Structure 1
Amino acid sequence: MFSWFWSVLGKLGLLSKKGKIVFLGLDNAGKTTLLNVLKDDRLTMHIPTLHPHSEDLVIEGIQFQTFDLGGHETARRIWKDYLATVNGIIFIIDAADPSRFPEAYEELAALLASEELAKTPICVLGNKIDKDTAVSEHELRRAIGLTENLTYGKKYQPSSTTRPLELFMCSVSKRMGYIEGFRWLAKFIP
């Protein structure tokens, strides 16, 4: 079934898009877990990412070169080295750990303040919504400063002058919500 699906996409010319995206966010947000689910459809436990690593993936018919850069404080210092040539950013936040929202807010605000990223689409994933301690989308938006009037909207609007930025709630472990974020991001990939 999947091979049929990919062949149809290829015939329609929808497999010709290519992009370079980075997975950013604090440690333990789910970046490496998401990358492995997308790559191998496996959910496994991981040690914290100590060194950046790259994977080539096809998601929603688009070829992505992805970089998981780690989220611990030391790893965050090298993020800027990977951002100059990216087509998009996946910024993952643990929606079940409100104690880390201020730190996530600071890192996201630094990305948003970067002039070199002014036109780079940023898909924020509020991960782990399947946990009892997870906050609602409204609460997460408020905590990280992404009120709906400041984000792009989940529907593609090519004439919009608003920065391409949107929040999607998801659960990587339950395999839900993140594909919508990738679909949204893919619309901005040339």
Structure 2
Amino acid sequence: MGQTQSSNSPQVVLMGLDSAGKSTLLARLLTGQVMETSPTIGFNVGSLDLDKKTSLTVWDVGGQKSMRANWRYYLDDCKALVFVVDSSDPGRLPEAQKILKKILNEEKLRGVPLMVLANKKDLPNSMTIREISNQLDLPSHEDRLWEIQACSALQGLGLQQAFMSISKLIKKT
């Protein structure tokens, strides 16, 4: 059962700190609507159709401290990691950087492309993707395909483009 499905629809895992906007982002992608979300205990999953031939299975994993120890259990068959940060909350970027570095060291993610989504770009004083890229030390990941894009889950800005890019990154690996 899983074999044909996973080859047709690559697994993409959404991770990031709590309140980064992962569930809002997934709900917006899947329904086109802004949905009221609450902190994710466990995970949400959905199938995202990008075009007639391309779909992704997207896992949104809870980001609270208590959930992070379980993140590695969601990495089986992961074809791309999407790390979501709140671009309006610079105070949490050091924590995000530490968590991202830790998860990228997982053996299951060797060679897996990374997409960082700088969410909440619609908010005043949100950081630029260059600032976030430097804070997360993304340039040091020379052995990995990675991209960073700004988006707004609430407004739906940049989401479709980001997931089309993710699909392209997966095809490159």
TM-score normalized by the length of structure 1? 0.79
Distance 1:17 1:105, change over 3 A: same
Task: Say which SS state the counterpart of residue 57 (structure 2) adopts.
Answer: strand
| Structure 1 contact 60–183 (Cα < 8 Å) conserved | no
Q: Tell me the residue number matched to 2:36.
A: 45
Instruction: Pick one of 29, 34, 51 that aligns with 2:20.
Output: 29
1:122 aligns to 2:103 (yes or no): no
Instruction: Pick one of 140, 148, 169 that aligns with 1:167.
Output: 148
The structure, 1 or 2, with the larger RCO (C-alpha pairs under 8 Å, 6+ apart) is: 2
- Measure, in 2, the Cα distance between the counterparts of 1:123 and 1:53: 19
**Structure 1 gap ranges (5+):** 1-15, 152-161
Instruction: Pick one of 95, 113, 119 that aligns with 1:103.
Output: 95
Q: Write out aligned runs for 1:70-89 (5 A).
A: 70-89=62-81
State which structure, 1 or 2, has the greater radius of gyration over its C-alpha atoms.
1
User: What's the CA shift string for 1:59-91, capped at 9, x where partnerless?
Assistant: 244222221111101111111001121111111
How far 1:182 moved relative to its partner?
1.2
User: RMSD over aligned Cα, in angstroms?
Assistant: 1.8
- Measure, in 1, the Cα distance between the counterparts of 2:44 and 2:151: 23
| Structure 1 contact 32–46 (Cα < 8 Å) conserved | yes
How far 1:48 moved relative to its partner?
0.5
User: What's the CA shift string for 1:21-76, capped at 9, x where partnerless?
Assistant: 11100111111001111111110221111121221221244222221111101111
- Measure, in 1, the Cα distance between the counterparts of 2:141 and 2:45: 31
Q: Write out aligned runs for 1:51-70 (5 A).
A: 51-61=42-52, 62-70=54-62
Q: Tell me the residue number matched to 1:184.
A: 165
- Identity percentage of aligned residues: 30
How far 1:118 moved relative to its partner?
1.6
